[in-house]
Amino acid sequence: MHLPIRLLGTLLLGALAVGATAQQLPASELRTETEYYDAKRQKLSSAEGAAVRVETQFADSLQAIETTYNAAGARVVRTPFEHHRKRIQHGVAERWYDNGQLHWRDTWVHGKREGELLVYYPTGQLKRREKFVGNKSKGGTCYAADGREVPYFAFERMPEMPGGMNALMQHLGKNMRYPAAALRERVQGKVFVSFVVDSLGRVTNPVVRQGLHPALDAEALRVVASLPQWQPGWQDDIAVEVVFTVPISFTIAGPAPRRSKRTSEADF
């Protein structure tokens, strides 16, 4: 499961995406990473107490297939990426109910939903058939559990901070502090931070994806972690976690302070 922000940067929603290919390689050539999380989506150091296990099979440094399992070991979501770090999907993504029945299947091409989206009830009855072109819905048909056609409704809704983008920008602007160490060193630029808006709307797991300076990285993490609760995102009437990436810009206004003549001479 990308928006402009000033301070600043642009808030990018990491949409689910699929990448071709890790599944096409021999198992012996795949590198697998496993991560564990508790019920609040906090990362754990081991499987003890884990509610979620995420296994990522890398075909190379970019392409990967990420599969999420619940505490019982059942598959929940399978997502292929052509660029795992940037969360660019490419391929066929799938999600399952707890009973093992396929919930939905859709196809992504270079980060955009493309082709047919099929959604099912836990019984296996078709719930939705919808067509996408270039990540935009071209319409579809929705069905009741007994097979009757019902009025169409949108498949998903993105998370939103109360007050929308203006409130988000105001929060960042009000709470951001330029670290003294970075200010002295005149360090400027962007820090890319990803975070998860969970199914309850809580902002969790802020992680620096591309750092700039230790002090700026820490400040970017702090201000993102201070975000209030959001309205959660939804897919098929189910609250879901959505990954966002926000580039936060640190800019120093005005020219660098000039050294006095005495200081300059002392340096030489």
Are residues 194 and 222 both part of a single domain?
Answer: yes
Are residues 28 and 93 both part of a single domain?
Answer: yes
Are residues 74 and 132 both part of a single domain?
Answer: yes
- Return the C-alpha torsion angle 229, 231, 233, 239, nearest 10: 90
Could you tell me if residue 216 is inside a domain? yes
- The per-residue pLDDT for 16 is 25
- The per-residue pLDDT for 17 is 25
The CATH number linked to 218 is 3.30.2420.10
Could you tell me if residue 256 is inside a domain? no
Confidence check: pLDDT of 114 > 60: yes
Residue at which a domain ends, from 93, 126, 154 = 154
Q: pTM higher than 0.75 for the full model?
A: no
Contacts of 263 (CB under 8 A, 6+ apart): none
Could you tell me if residue 261 is inside a domain? no
Are residues 24 and 140 both part of a single domain?
Answer: yes
Strand partners, 3: none
Cβ-based burial of 134 (10 A; exposed 0-12, middle 13-18, buried ≥19): exposed
Could you tell me if residue 130 is inside a domain? yes
Q: How many structural domains comprise the chain?
A: 2
Could you tell me if residue 230 is inside a domain? yes
Could you tell me if residue 76 is inside a domain? yes
- 49-108 confidence digits (pLDDT tens): 999 999 999 999 899 999 999 999 999 999 999 999 888 999 999 999 999 999 999 999
Could you tell me if residue 35 is inside a domain? yes
Cα(138)–Cα(135) distance, integer angstroms: 9
The CATH number linked to 116 is 3.90.930
Phi-psi region of 260 (alpha: psi -120 to 50; beta: other; left: phi over 0): beta
- 178-213 confidence digits (pLDDT tens): 999 999 999 999 999 999 999 999 999 899 999 999
- The per-residue pLDDT for 139 is 94
- 145-177 confidence digits (pLDDT tens): 999 999 999 998 999 999 998 898 889 888 999
Cα(119)–Cα(104) distance, integer angstroms: 4
Are residues 228 and 98 both part of a single domain?
Answer: no
Are residues 134 and 28 both part of a single domain?
Answer: yes
Are residues 225 and 243 both part of a single domain?
Answer: yes
- 228-246 confidence digits (pLDDT tens): 999 999 988 889 888 888 8
Residue-range definition of the domain harbouring residue 223: 164-250
- The per-residue pLDDT for 256 is 58
Are residues 194 and 72 both part of a single domain?
Answer: no
Q: In angstroms, what is the C-alpha Rg of the chain?
A: 22
Alpha carbon 105 to its chain's center: 19
Could you tell me if residue 98 is inside a domain? yes
- 4-45 confidence digits (pLDDT tens): 222 222 343 332 222 223 344 455 567 999 999 988 778 899
Strand partners, 142: 128, 150
Are residues 88 and 139 both part of a single domain?
Answer: yes
Are residues 130 and 198 both part of a single domain?
Answer: no
Are residues 181 and 217 both part of a single domain?
Answer: yes
Q: Regarding predicted confidence, which is higher, 255 or 234? A: 234
Are residues 148 and 228 both part of a single domain?
Answer: no
- The per-residue pLDDT for 27 is 54
